[in-house]
Structure 1
Amino acid sequence: MEKIITYEDFTKVDLRIGTIIQVDDFPKARRPAYKLTIDFGHLGVKKTSAQITTLYKKHDLIGRQIVAVVNFPAKQIANFMSDCLVLGAVKEHDVFLLHPSTKVKNGVTVS
């Protein structure tokens, strides 16, 4: 276990469900990555990058629902601004995207 946080700390993290609507290559990233455009329903569309090229093909990601943190400040990654963080389980160098087991409305809170 890393650091212990309080329940109040956890409630500050805004986790939401979104659907990937666009996937582009990101050749300027230090490690192979995609640029993802994600629809979060009433929260709007957000973009991020993800180092998931070893397990996922671009065409397989379109329409896939994911879990993401949507209340981080924007962060510049190379020439790209990321405004959310997609969550995944990491095993060695592979990232396995977290997702709901059934389709839910975009923007739904994860708790």
Structure 2
Amino acid sequence: MGDTIHFEDFTKVDLRVGTIVAVDDFPEARHPAYQLTIDFGALGLKRSSAQITALYTKDELLHRQIVAVVNFPKKQIANFMSECLVLGAVSGKGVILLHPEVSIKNGTVVA
């Protein structure tokens, strides 16, 4: 388990639901990854790099809703600027994406 944080720390993390609208290969990445474009509704489109090639094909990801942190600073990954962090559970087989059980409006806050 990680360090204990205060509730006020958690409230600073902006978690939102978004829909993946584009998936591209990312051959420049150090580890196999995709470049994702995600629609967060009123927040607009954001891009992210995700090391999820072991469990997901590009077709399986397209139009899938996910949960992401949208208020981290941008991060340069190879020649790509990542604007959000897609969340997943790490298993022995790879990263399993977190997602809502039912379709929900893009940009919805996760609490």
Using structure 2 for the length normalisation, give the TM-score: 0.98
Amino acid at match of 1:38: I
Amino acid at match of 2:13: V
The Cα offsets for residues 24-43 of structure 1, whole Å up to 9 and x where unpaired, read as: 00000000000000000000
The Cα offsets for residues 34-59 of structure 1, whole Å up to 9 and x where unpaired, read as: 00000000000000000000100001
**Structure 1: which 5+ runs fail to align?**
none
1:65 aligns with 2:60: no
Q: 1:82 matched to which residue of 2?
A: 82
The Cα offsets for residues 4-23 of structure 1, whole Å up to 9 and x where unpaired, read as: 00000000000000000000
CA RMSD, 1 decimal: 0.6
Structure 1 residue runs of 4 or more that deviate by more than 4 Å after TM superposition: none
**Equivalent residues in 2 for 1:28-39, closer than 5 Å:** 28-39=28-39
Distance 2:45 2:54 in 1: 25
**Percent identity (aligned):** 68
Shift in alpha-carbon separation, 1:85–1:21, aligned structure 2, 3 A: same
Distance 1:93 1:104 in 2: 28
Count of residues paired in the alignment: 111
The Cα offsets for residues 42-83 of structure 1, whole Å up to 9 and x where unpaired, read as: 000000000000100001111100000000000000000000
**Structure 2: which 5+ runs fail to align?**
none
Using structure 1 for the length normalisation, give the TM-score: 0.98
